[in-house]
């Protein structure tokens, strides 16, 4: 039986992601709830992993932050074409950008920085990929569920009616909503964004963000749709 595992917010913790995937079936179909990046030091590797295997992923608010800071960095390069004298702090000191090793100290001129062209090219490719990410993955009706299954970053249970009526507000809630769905939700929503100690399973929702990257004791978790099993590292 083909099994789908929905993985919570990874936040740049590449080693934890590999450890979790090692515990899952070899042919599992993985779906990510977004927030692949930030906090941890290996955001680029996490994106590489997800892209190389063409896993499905929805956009999270931290992917949005990456778009903003990436655009700021590219603008900085346009303004300082000859000599880069602006340190990482100019673009927020983001661990996302640092994971691409975009700037390194010039050994001969300590006040200047060298640009890593390979890292820059990969950043541009990944920013374009992030721009293409959907806000939801719809799996529809599946056995053992009384509602159609929808995967998003923020909870969408009480805002599903906006999908066609107001796409802009719909995306806003899909990426950033933190409320718990009411019993009237017309979908079974699997989401992240709200950090919980252990995977929270309700009548019409599952929250899979168990705090990865927030503190050393936090977990990274996966929820199997078919078996309702939870796997943690």
Share of the chain above pLDDT 90, in %: 75
CB under 8 Å to 36, separation ≥6 — which residues? 9, 10, 11, 12, 43, 46, 47, 50, 57, 60, 62, 63
**b/e map of 10-23 (b: 16 or more CB within 10 Å)?**
bbbbbebbeebbee
Report how far residue 7's alpha carbon sits from residue 175's, in angstroms, rounded to the nearest whole number: 16
> 3-class SS at 56?
strand
Token pair in block for residue 204: 């019409």
Tell which CATH architecture fits domain 4-60+133-232: 4-Layer Sandwich (3.60)
Task: Give the tens place of pLDDT for each residue, 11-47.
Answer: 999 999 999 999 999 999 999 999 999 999 999 999 9
Q: What mean pLDDT comes out for the span 52-69?
A: 94
Regarding predicted confidence, which is higher, 64 or 112? 64
Angle at 11 between CA 123 and CA 225, to 5 degrees: 115
DSSP state of 197: S
pLDDT band for position 75 (cuts 50, 70, 90)? confident
Return mean pLDDT, the chain: 91
Residue spans of the domains in the chain: they are: 4-60+133-232, 63-130
Model pTM? 0.93
Q: What mean pLDDT comes out for the span 166-178?
A: 96
pLDDT(81) > 80: no
Report how far residue 140's alpha carbon sits from residue 95's, in angstroms, rounded to the nearest whole number: 36
Task: Give the tens place of pLDDT for each residue, 84-100.
Answer: 665 555 444 467 888 99
pLDDT(209) > 80: yes
Share of the chain above pLDDT 70, in %: 94
Shortest CA distance to 152 belongs to which of 169, 175, 133?
A: 175
DSSP state of 89: G
């Amino acid at each position: 039986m083909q099994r789908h595992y929905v993985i919570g917010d990874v936040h740049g913790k590449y080693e934890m992601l590999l450890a979790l995937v090692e515990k899952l079936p070899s042919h599992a179909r993985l779906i990510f709830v977004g927030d692949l990046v930030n906090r941890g030091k290996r955001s680029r590797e996490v994106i590489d992993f997800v892209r190389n295997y063409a896993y499905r992923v929805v956009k999270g608010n931290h992917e949005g932050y990456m778009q903003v800071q990436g655009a700021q960095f590219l603008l900085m390069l346009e303004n300082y074409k000859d000599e880069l004298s602006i340190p990482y702090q100019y673009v927020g000191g983001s661990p996302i950008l640092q994971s691409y090793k975009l700037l390194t100290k010039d050994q001969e001129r300590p006040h200047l920085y060298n640009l890593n062209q390979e890292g820059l090219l990969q950043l541009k490719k990944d920013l374009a990929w992030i721009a293409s990410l959907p806000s939801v993955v719809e799996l529809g009706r599946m056995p053992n569920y009384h509602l159609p299954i929808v995967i998003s970053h923020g909870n969408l249970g009480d805002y599903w009616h906006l999908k066609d009526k107001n796409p802009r507000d719909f995306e806003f809630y899909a990426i950033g909503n933190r409320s718990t769905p009411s019993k009237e939700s017309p979908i079974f929503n699997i989401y992240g964004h709200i950090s919980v100690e252990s995977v929270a399973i309700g009548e019409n929702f599952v929250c899979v963000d168990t705090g990865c990257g927030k503190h050393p004791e936090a977990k990274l978790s996966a929820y199997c749709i078919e078996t309702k099993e939870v796997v943690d590292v």
